[in-house]
């Protein structure tokens, strides 16, 4: 009787597996299908034809729309593009320095999260939970205005520090997850060969972790580029701030915000493709 129940359960399980729809493009053709729940793919890869096609349509559509506006409607779109692009250097400066700071903070936070010392884990955990629970805009205002009452903090420094601290918390979780994704046998083998724990982390674990977390770091970099628009509240003349200043003079809010959106969209799509190519090259070279 028990054997018959087991056979019936196996038949039901096989029937469910056959009806399961696979949404994983890398799933094997034979065997049980799998379903993977992920966020929307931001970085296109060569094997993902649907995503890459969507990226191309979006990118070239944005380029075409920008050219049409500039060529056929030079007044006011050409002037708006020129005005808004003047803020691009500030946007890139804030983003680049902030991502460097976030990677440094995130690396130490991630290492602290997997440390064998309990008090280090506690400090890193408190930092991550505290920073992730406060909106970035609030952090920007707090560092620039509240801390500025006691220390003179320039707008650029406040923006870089705020973005670095905010994204450093998320980066720390990425690094921690990347380290824990490496099999524990790697550390055990390294220590068995006479390496210290620090040497094993430096020469064995971290190089492999970089390959694992690179797509997530690329997504954080792109997210930071978009969130850098918040620094306009600190009177930094980034892309959004230049657009808002143009609106205050001309009251062309719809036209200006359309141009600002197109500029951010094009920059984001270009960076997403570059990060995708970097990831493919890294995996190809091992």
Indicate the fold that domain 93-231 takes in CATH: MetI-like fold (1.10.3720)
The domain spans of the chain are 1-35, 47-87+237-286, 93-231
pLDDT tens, position by position, 91-101: 999 999 999 99
Instruction: Quote the mean pLDDT of the chain.
Output: 82
Mean local confidence (pLDDT), 215-222: 88
Which pLDDT does position 44 carry in this prediction? 56
Distance CA 42, CA 54 (A): 11
Give the global pTM: 0.77
- Average pLDDT of the residues in 137-166: 89
Structure-token pair, residue 199:
């040497």
Amino acid 34: pLDDT? 38
Confidence check: pLDDT of 54 > 80: yes
Dump pLDDT digits (tens) for 198-211.
888 888 888 888 88
Question: 176: closest CA among 108, 274, 87, 98?
Answer: 108
Are residues 35 and 21 in contact, defined by beta-carbon separation less than 8 angstroms? yes
Query: pLDDT grade, residue 8 (50/70/90)?
Result: low
- At residue 284, does pLDDT exceed 50? yes
Give the distance, in angstroms, between the CA of residue 164 and the centroid of all CA atoms in the same chain. Answer: 13
CA 138, 141, 146, 147 torsion-angle sign: positive
Q: Flag whether pLDDT at 16 surpasses 80.
A: no
């Amino acid at each position: 009787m028990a054997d018959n129940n087991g056979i019936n359960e196996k038949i039901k399980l096989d029937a469910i597996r056959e009806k399961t729809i696979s949404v994983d493009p890398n799933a094997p053709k034979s065997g049980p299908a799998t379903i993977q729940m992920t966020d929307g793919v931001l970085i296109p890869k060569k094997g993902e034809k649907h995503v890459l096609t969507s990226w191309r349509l979006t990118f070239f559509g944005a380029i075409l729309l920008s050219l049409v506006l500039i060529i056929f409607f030079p007044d006011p779109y050409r002037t708006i593009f020129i005005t808004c692009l003047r803020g691009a250097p500030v946007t890139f400066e804030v983003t680049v320095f902030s991502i460097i700071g976030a990677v440094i903070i995130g690396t130490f936070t991630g290492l602290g999260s997997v440390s064998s010392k309990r008090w280090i884990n506690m400090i890193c955990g408190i930092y991550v939970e505290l920073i992730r629970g406060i909106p970035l805009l609030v952090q920007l205002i707090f560092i620039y205005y509240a801390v500025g009452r006691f220390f003179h903090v320039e707008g650029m420094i406040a923006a870089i520090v705020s973005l670095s601290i905010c994204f450093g918390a998320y980066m720390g979780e990425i690094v921690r997850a990347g380290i824990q994704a490496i099999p524990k046998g790697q550390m055990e083998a390294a220590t068995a060969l006479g390496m210290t724990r620090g040497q094993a982390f430096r020469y064995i674990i971290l190089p492999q972790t970089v390959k694992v977390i690179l797509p997530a770091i690329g997504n954080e970099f792109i997210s930071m580029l978009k969130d850098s628009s918040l620094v306009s509240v600190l009177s930094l003349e980034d892309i959004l701030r230049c657009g808002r200043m143009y609106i205050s003079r001309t009251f062309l809010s719809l036209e200006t915000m359309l141009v600002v959106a197109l500029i951010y969209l094009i920059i984001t799509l270009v960076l997403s493709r570059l990060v995708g190519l970097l990831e493919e090259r890294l995996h190809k070279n091992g």
